[in-house]
A and B are shown apart, each in its own frame.
Chain A
Amino acid sequence: MQEAMINRAKELMADGTVSRVIGWKRGEFAYDITPAVFETAEEIDSDFVCDDFTAANVSKYLIKESRKEGRILAFLKPCDTYSFNQLIKEHRIIRENVYVIGIPGGPKLDAEKLKARGITGILGVRNEKGTLHIDTVYGEETMPMFEAILGKCENCKSTKHVVYDELMGEEGEVIADSGRFDRVAELENMTAQQRFEFWREQLSKCIRCNACRNVCPACSCENCVFDNPDSGISNKAAADSFEENNFHIIRAFHVAGRCTDCGECSRVCPQNIPLHLLNRKFIKDINELYGEYQAGEDTTSRAPLTNYNADEDCEPSIVHERGAE
């Protein structure tokens, strides 16, 4: 796939369709892959990577990239296309300036899960019939593929691309039984005290590095409330660990109804906080209270939380009643 992508990218650059390409390049380690913009065929040849570790969602970069001179080619996995669409809907990405090639998604691999098995010095990975052959500086190691899947790929919601100009590989479909709300349901079944303790324990690990916010495609405000001294909740040395807790809760509220569940927040968290569960709780609630809604599925529908409907919304009545506790 990587070969085909490189060839197509160079073709599109050569015929003038695009002037730049956003993809991924390798970092210091084989599993250490970051988004990158390529401006020449040479750069693409030498650095462009797309393999089992290229999990990063490049949609958010297109807010800035689509506002620069010329058109940019973006390779988007199915989950990335939802984020891309949501940003189109919010008028953040200029659609005409992006040429989207849909590429197959994951499951992508989590290097941390390999390391947890004592596999270090990783040079490369081959996936053969569900078994990973890991080439390391100490020789080859093997492990079952399913044990190394990245958290965000475990409950994949869709292998369908909701937007593209061109598709490479086969089109997938929406996965109805992804089980992505199972863990949320478990949390819902806890007592309030248990749930509080669960989240206190998880969120107290936060070092407030802001990686979750910085990677989140929904967190793309011109001026984030956490950077705005007038907002009253801007970044500062926390007086107690509860402030970190609030940071995540405020963030979850801010992306509610706009979060496409791309899972980047949990992927980048250096403390392995399951942040996606907060967002999934909102998504689950929205689905239950207002009917099924998938952010980013399209660019025209109205999100349940930001919609005014004169026929229904003036009724001062209860939208939904849950069963008695």
Chain B
Amino acid sequence: MQRIGVFVCHCGTNIAATVDVKAVAEALGHEPGVVISQDYQYMCSESGQNLVKDAIKEHNLSGIVICSCSPRMHENTFRKAAAAAGLNPYLVEIANIREQCSWIHRDIATATEKAIILGKAAVAKVHLNTPLTSMESPVVKRALVIGGGIAGIQTALDIAEAGFDVDIVEKEATIGGKMAQIDKTFPTLDCAACILTPKMVEASQNEKIHIYAFSEVEAVKGFVGNFTVKIKRKARYVDEVKCTGCGACIEKCPMKKVPNEFNMGLDNRHAVYIPFAQAVPKIATIDPNYCMMLKNGKCGLCSKVCAAGAIDYKQQDSFIEEKYGAIVVATGFNPIKLDKYDEFSYNTCPDVVTSLELERLMNAAGPNGGTLLRPSDKSHPHTIVFVQCVGSRCSDEKGKPYCSKICCMYTAKHAMLIRDKYPDTEVYVFYIDVRTPGKNFDEFYRRAVEQYNVHYIKGMVGKVTPKSDGKIDVQASDLLSNEQLHIDADMVVLAAAIEPDKTARPLATMLTTQMDTNDFFTEAHPKLRPVESATAGIFLSGACQGPKDIPETVAQGSAAAAKAIGLLCKNSITCNPCVAHSDELMCNGCSSCEKVRPYGAITYSDKEFRMPDRTIAVRRVASVNPAVCQGCGACTVACPSGAMDLSGFSNSQIMAEVDAICK
């Protein structure tokens, strides 16, 4: 006979304000097998847990039901408490009467009724619970960092520092990411390249770090501690080992009219290129879309001048497979495309640029060698208008609903740098709010206004119109003086919203991690587990999780590394014992389960069976590898005969829950 204990949590007023917890405890006390039913203010507190532990011992309980918050929150807490009191942790069931009940209902009567029903379902289930034992699975002591921007570099360096091997997969020809394109950094105005490139070199020289540049993650299999990742090494048409990065091929390449991505298309590069002088790895890459040799077999100059003999026009994409214990996602961000913002004339006027383009225009390695000139006529701009929140905090579908967070600060930086270098230039900044939370941030912004006399105007720009005399008419409203303004500008700079890189979504699918509606990766807990994804073994670093500036990105990169190191330090991890198993006597061997399995845990073999008529029959039957199975349960619903079942969530347990709810 089962001896079940029911414990109803008030969660302060979180549950008790909407659910009559005493009535729930009373009603569940009458369920079959329930020998004790109690309520308590905070069941997860130490005294609450002691209540549970004492009851287990005192009443010799065979199973417990906790009516509380989501099992994601405290299931582990109560499993541990049960284990401490000598009860198998898998004899604990959680009835979620907070997220799925008190928080979503207002009426006490209905919420109480529902809480009782949820409790009854949990009691019905716990009747059928069986003790389960966890197995151990080894941890591969190697980490993968996806994305080689400052986030990925920082994470990789920290993991390597702890003594673990770490691979960086970067889709571009060099690591460095967005930070490499930035001119100066706020709030200290130090040169981005000066602080980034030493880290890039450090990463490339660290013997624990292996950089797969110009590569992409193609497929991910496995689970925490034991991922198998297929990496596509895109063809560079240059032998990475032989190439010395001397640049002779680039000098000779006759195809000089290729838009230079690194300079945001503001100047041209050759068909064979190294993105920038400090690229890591410093290896040339041939662009097959422009290389005449690759397109029509005519040219071959680079091959002739290459002293190292590194040019290989026949190179193909290659694939490598590597095992990892932990994966850190650091896929970063991009500014949004502005083609939907006709009002700002971005597509029609070359002197309307994005902030990232301005970074390149002002950079010493940029198209103008660091002199700020108008892209249209290379003249010195005397009036520059900055437009904030282009696509950020946007209520319609053109933009993003969120604040891109970094724009206020980099615009203050741009304004200040321009006023410092070109005091004859008037700078206007149109803003909705100026958001400067961060160490030394508001002081920085105040300096722009007070010391550098940047004209900050609260209000949005309505229309940007190029005029025939080369000037740009900026029509805007000043909300504080309630005036309509027309400014004759020479340049307009748009602070485009930032969005996650497009590769993030397919990657999330491969990693089975969650994303929010904006395609930012979702952290396991917004406050308490900010660098872990909800999928064990997958960590988040940098702007792939949400808009971030460099200091925050670096901090999060290190945090993600700390979490990954914590995992890699372990020799083995405890597996989830709630895995599938096949009843071979019932299995038809039909392969339905194999076709729905996401983790590849099911295999088939021919086995001899003694049949009811005493003959021996050879039958094809499924078996589950419990170390690989993640307990998703897809196979149990695909199985036509019911041979496949999931420990801890068996078909009979689910049916018992449904029955209890429908009764």
Contacts and interface: CB of A to CB of B under 8 A. Distances in A.
A314 B589 CA distance: 26
A223 B641 contact: yes
Interface in A74-111: 89-92
Contact of A314 (B219, B512, B597, B617): B512
* Interface hub of A67, A221, A303, A313 (most chain B Cβ within 10 A): A221
B641 A221 contact: yes
A92 B510 contact: no
Interface in A183-230: 220-225, 228, 230
Given A254-B640, A307-B596, A308-B596, A221 B509 contact: no
B509 A228 contact: no
Contact of B652 (A230, A313, A314): A230
Contacts of A315: 509
Nearest to A87: B590
B655 interface: yes
A222 B588 contact: yes
A232 B595 contact: no
B509 A310 contact: yes
B419 interface: no
Contacts of A314: 508-509, 512
A254 B592 CA distance: 12
Nearest to A303: B595
B533 to A, nearest CB: 13
B244 to A, nearest CB: 40
Contacts of A92: 588-590
A161 interface: no
Contacts of B641: 221-225, 228
Contacts of A222: 585-588, 619, 641, 643
Interface in A221-257: 221-225, 228, 230-232, 254-255
Contacts of A89: 591
Nearest to B512: A314
Nearest to B514: A316
Interface in B617-653: 617-620, 634, 638, 640-643, 651-652
B309 interface: no
B509 A67 contact: no
Interface in A156-206: none
Contacts of B617: 67
A104 B595 CA distance: 34
Contacts of B592: 90, 306
Contacts of A42: none
Given A222-B586, A306-B596, A308-B595, A232 B509 contact: no
A306 B586 contact: no
B588 A221 contact: yes
Contacts of A90: 588-592
A310 B599 CA distance: 10
B369 interface: no
Contacts of B509: 310-311, 314-315
A302 interface: yes
Interface string B588-616: 11111001111000001000000000000
B510 A231 contact: no
* Interface hub of B219, B586, B590 (most chain A Cβ within 10 A): B590
B506 interface: yes
A256 to B, nearest CB: 10
A270 B617 CA distance: 34
A258 interface: yes
Contact of A91 (B219, B512, B586, B591): B591
A91 B590 contact: yes
Nearest to A305: B638
Contact of A231 (B512, B587, B620, B642): B642
Interface string B185-224: 0000000000000000000000000000000000100000
A114 B163 CA distance: 86
A321 B479 CA distance: 45
Contacts of B652: 230, 232
Contacts of A232: 652, 655
Nearest to B645: A230
A303 B640 CA distance: 14
A307 B597 CA distance: 8
Given A90-B590, A222-B641, A311-B509, 6 more contacts: A90-B589, A91-B589, A222-B587, A232-B652, A258-B640, A308-B595
18 contacts: A90-B590, A91-B589, A91-B590, A91-B620, A92-B589, A221-B588, A222-B585, A222-B619, A222-B643, A223-B585, A231-B651, A232-B652, A306-B596, A306-B638, A308-B596, A308-B597, A310-B510, A311-B506
List the 3 closest pairs (A to B, CB-CB), nearest first. A90-B590, A221-B641, A314-B509
